[in-house]
Structure 1
Amino acid sequence: MRPNIRGSLGGFLTCGLLITGAVIVGHDGNEKPGLPSGPYVALGDSYTAGPGIPAKRGSPAGCERSDHNYPALVADSFDVRAGDFHDVRCSGATVTDLTAPQTTSDGTNPPQLSALSERTRLVTLGIGGNDIGFGAMIKRCVGAGALYRILGGGKYLPEEAPCKRQYLSHGTDEVQRRIDSTGERLTSALRDIRRRAPRAHVYVVGYPEILPSDSGACLRSMFLAPGDVMFLREEEQRLNTMLRERAEAGGADYVDTFTPSRGHGACAAADVRWIEPLTPAAPAAPVHPNAHAERGMADAVVSALKKALTK
């Protein structure tokens, strides 16, 4: 997803790849599970790039990649050699940017899939939020909630959802239409990944919990009407469901980061949250993962990989 709220907010591929549960000694002297030799390519948007989390690395600078985002942590967990870790994710990326250059505020990112080759052994992909305009949805709902609160004398009705009504007007479900369209593009992208990297194991990584099931917790930190908190939470879950279904249909694995992040969304206390609110208290972009989230998402990916290694 985009790094600024003002701008927007399985099994192995059946190509003969065999992974065994090898163990190697890492640079820190500890034993680490070994991946097959060959490159790891990380693809995706700002939830994988980690904008605002120290320290920024790579080019173009406008992609806002952190050296402590979850792909970097995954690479370290498996002691992937620096030359074999290809970090091409970029804040603001959509599925289209996997196969086309992406212009950022500071430089142009090449098509992300250009980093793939027949040597690639591992691919992680986290994308889709920008395609459905989730950041813009949050921005719109914050505005609708603030206006409703002013007109309502500073109070919200428990089920009030002024923003949801805007997306479900005239008997149409605009968000579902966007999710379906994004799913079609993702299916095509997964086919392209298989073609370019036929020996790779591909993981589609879902989004962590952004908003809680307790809508009342968001009145102060996110200025969202209670009903709109639930609306946005449900739409994120629908997006994750689509990602899971398309991944499995495309021969990839899906990594669930929503379940381990429950209770750690943007409206949780500062010391436990994974997602920063509109005004971040930790180094991160607004409504984006902080360092705790990137570690938690890395743990989810590492767990999935370890299961594959022991099969």
Structure 2
Amino acid sequence: MPTRSAPNGHRARRSPHRKTLAWLSGLAVVAAAAVIPFTASGAEGGSDYVALGDSYSAGTGADPYLSNSATIPPVDTLTVNAPPASVNHSDNCQRSEKAYSALLAKENGGPNGFLGGYTFAACAGAVTQDVRDRQLAALNDQTDVVTLTIGGNDVKFADAMKICVISPDITGACQLALNESLSIMENQLQPRLEATYNDILGAAANLTTMVVIGYPELFDLDGACTVLEDVFNPSEAVRAEMNRAAAQLNQVIKDAVSAVGSTKVRFLNPQPAYAGHEICSAESFLTEPVDTPAIGDSYHPNAKGHVELKQLVLRVLRT
């Protein structure tokens, strides 16, 4: 079925009076500044949603992956826009139909949903500069909702993880990689994030809300690891260090959101929902090295993890 699109790939700007509380009618009304209004009128008046960010938003870890020129198929009254070519900073962005944004779009893009348009512009490996230089092309004055994960690659978190898997003790190369990651996190990341959020706000003049999602802790330190998990993952000391680094990363992201000072920008911490579902738990929301031959796919949300992220984002949009 062909992708629905309007001239120039966008629909005519909807009257703001049509984007009201139709789908929230059963909820208690709170202060207007805290309410994110949506409509259930589909493509004619539904919200335009753009998913930006890195591998955690693209869907790495929840294969199979779409080609860079592909996107999810249209759903009912949902207009699905192909991502602009500029968002692809690599040959394989690893976008997946199992990613949280795709699930959110497919489940809420029907005639009873609140979304009228969806653009899947996240790309694995993206850093803040990639969002600013490339992914902003997916935004315009019709964009109502943006979701975003970014910052992990800026601090070389994945690089440190790979090194620490090979050198599993807090010594030598692993410690140096962790130290570099923490140094960037403490001294460089927050201004990069603030600039990115402000650029998004500038590129989407009529944005209603931007959900900035943090990163989960990777390991269940109290879990019962299998023999394979112990072999393929770093040592217990490294696991604890990586969890502390993930918590610190989320604090920097949260501080950047606060510093921007816009009620449109909201931070979502997935760590409480992922607690007890990290690697070495009975039901992990993360792809483990033992589950995939591609180390780059490891330590990312799996299909279950993206279902949980979808639910978390939906709760933010409803409050």
TM-score in terms of structure 1 length: 0.73
Tell me if structure 1 keeps the 8 A contact 2:159–2:177: no
Q: Where does residue 73 of structure 2 map in the other structure?
A: none
Judging changes above 3 Å, is the alpha-carbon distance between structure 1 residues 295 and 143 closer, same or farther for their aligned structure 2 residues? Answer: same
Unaligned ranges ≥5, structure 2: 1-15, 25-37, 70-90
Q: Where does residue 258 of structure 1 map in the other structure?
A: 271
Q: CA–CA distance in 2 between the matches of 1:223 and 1:189? A: 33
Out of 272, 277, 286, the position equivalent to 2:298 is: 286
Out of 280, 289, 299, the position equivalent to 2:311 is: 299
1:78-101 deviations in Å (ceiling 9; x for gaps)? 32688710110001111111123x
1:104-144 deviations in Å (ceiling 9; x for gaps)? xxxxxxx1111111111001111111111111111121222
**1:57-206 alignment to 2 at 5 Å?**
57=66, 59-60=68-69, 62-79=92-109, 84-100=117-133, 111-145=134-168, 161-162=170-171, 165-166=175-176, 173-179=179-185, 180-200=187-207, 201-206=209-214
Unaligned ranges ≥5, structure 1: 1-15, 25-32, 101-110, 149-160
Judging changes above 3 Å, is the alpha-carbon distance between structure 1 residues 81 and 19 closer, same or farther for their aligned structure 2 residues? Answer: closer
More divergent stretch after superposition (243-252 vs 130-139): 243-252
Q: CA–CA distance in 1 between the matches of 2:67 and 2:163? A: 32
Tell me if structure 2 keeps the 8 A contact 1:215–1:226: no
- The one-letter code sitting in structure 2 at the alignment partner of 1:234 is R
- The one-letter code sitting in structure 2 at the alignment partner of 1:266 is I
Aligned length: 254
- The one-letter code sitting in structure 2 at the alignment partner of 1:40 is Y
Identical-pair percentage: 27
Tell me the secondary structure at the aligned position of residue 302 of structure 1: helix
Judging changes above 3 Å, is the alpha-carbon distance between structure 1 residues 49 and 98 closer, same or farther for their aligned structure 2 residues? Answer: same
Out of 233, 238, 244, the position equivalent to 1:234 is: 244
CA apart distance, 1:66:
0.5
Q: Where does residue 52 of structure 2 map in the other structure?
A: 43
Tell me the secondary structure at the aligned position of residue 254 of structure 1: strand
Out of 281, 284, 304, the position equivalent to 1:268 is: 281
Q: CA–CA distance in 2 between the matches of 1:261 and 1:120? A: 29
Tell me if structure 2 keeps the 8 A contact 1:209–1:264: no
Tell me if structure 2 keeps the 8 A contact 1:41–1:88: yes
* Correspondence 1:247 to 2:257: yes
CA apart distance, 1:37:
3.0
Tell me the secondary structure at the aligned position of residue 279 of structure 2: coil
CA apart distance, 1:209:
2.5
Q: Which has the higher contact order (CA 8 A, sep 6+)?
A: 1
TM-score in terms of structure 2 length: 0.71
Aligned residues: CA RMSD: 3.0
Q: CA–CA distance in 2 between the matches of 1:99 and 1:73? A: 25
CA apart distance, 1:248:
2.5
CA apart distance, 1:166:
3.0
